[in-house]
């Protein structure tokens, strides 16, 4: 799974491609329109904001979807979404971390999967242990989402749980997600070390 679940939609008429991504949470359209006042065409009623930034056309939807037009690759879109998140994150509706942690034990696997994905966006130490427990979920999609969420959080304390899960995982797709998560954590550790020098 890629950051923001990005995927290419189609070529863009003006060059490049159109990439769709998701912030994983809804926006308060009132807040978003206020933040982008004078910069974007924004409709609270329709739940959409349209604006340009650094030469790209962006559409943000109430449900957290973002479309970036004119980028050269999905990787470029991910970097760009990281940049615009800094601009619009004040309009993201805050999630209740405790409710999401509880949802990791829901009987519905889709609820557990969505909770794991959303928790991956949280920079809250409390989510690491519950996500580590979700690595043993009976549903492969939940295990995959928990692994990637731990990778996105980047906390070194998840390394042992991810390594244990990798050594015991039978599903190849989930194994790939576990390896990706471990790589993401290693990169995060390296970035922190480089900042010290």
Break the chain into its structural domains and give their ranges.
Answer: 3-91, 97-196
Element (H, E) at 8: strand 7-11
Q: What percent of the chain has pLDDT over 70?
A: 95
Mean pLDDT of 101-116: 92
Q: Is the pLDDT of residue 196 over 60?
A: no
Measured CA to CA in angstroms, residue 26 lies from 120, 154, 159, 160 at distances of 15, 23, 30, 33
At 145, the pLDDT band (50, 70, 90 cuts) reads very high
Whether the model pTM is above 0.85: no
Answer whether 3-91 and 97-196 agree in fold.
no
Give residue-wise pLDDT tens across range 26-73. 888 998 999 999 989 999 999 999 998 888 899 999 888 999 999 999
Mean pLDDT of 10-25: 88
Q: Which of 127, 123, 119, 191 is nearest to 161 (CA)?
A: 127
Higher pLDDT: 112 or 124? It is: 112
What does the alpha-carbon distance between residue 180 and residue 93 come to, in Å, rounded to a whole number? 28
Fold of 3-91: TATA-Binding Protein (3.30.310)
Mean pLDDT of 93-102: 81
- DSSP lists the bridge partners of residue 69 as 18, 57
Cβ(29)–Cβ(62) under 8 Å?
yes
Residue 43 has what pLDDT? 93
User: Is 97-196 assigned to CATH 1.20.120.420?
Assistant: no
SS3 letters across 16-73: CEEEEEECCCCECHHHHHHHCCCCCEEECCCCEEEEEECCEEEEEECCCEEEEEEECC
């Amino acid at each position: 799974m890629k950051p923001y679940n990005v995927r290419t939609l189609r070529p863009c008429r003006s060059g490049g491609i159109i990439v769709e991504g998701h912030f994983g949470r809804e926006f308060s359209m009132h807040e978003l329109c206020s933040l982008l006042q004078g910069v974007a065409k924004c409709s609270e009623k329709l739940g959409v904001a349209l604006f340009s930034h650094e030469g790209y056309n962006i559409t943000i939807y109430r449900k957290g979807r973002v479309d970036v037009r004119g980028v050269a690759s999905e990787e470029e879109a991910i970097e760009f979404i990281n940049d615009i998140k800094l601009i619009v994150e004040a309009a993201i509706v805050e999630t209740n971390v405790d409710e999401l942690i509880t949802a990791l034990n829901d009987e519905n696997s889709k609820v557990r999967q969505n909770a794991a994905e959303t928790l991956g966006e949280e920079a809250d130490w409390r989510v690491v242990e519950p996500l580590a427990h979700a690595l043993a979920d009976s549903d492969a999609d939940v295990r995959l989402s928990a692994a990637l969420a731990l990778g996105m959080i980047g906390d070194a304390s998840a390394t042992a749980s991810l390594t244990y899960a990798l050594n015991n995982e039978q599903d190849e797709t989930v194994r790939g997600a576990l390896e990706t998560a471990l790589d993401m954590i290693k990169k995060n550790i390296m970035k922190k070390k480089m900042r010290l020098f």
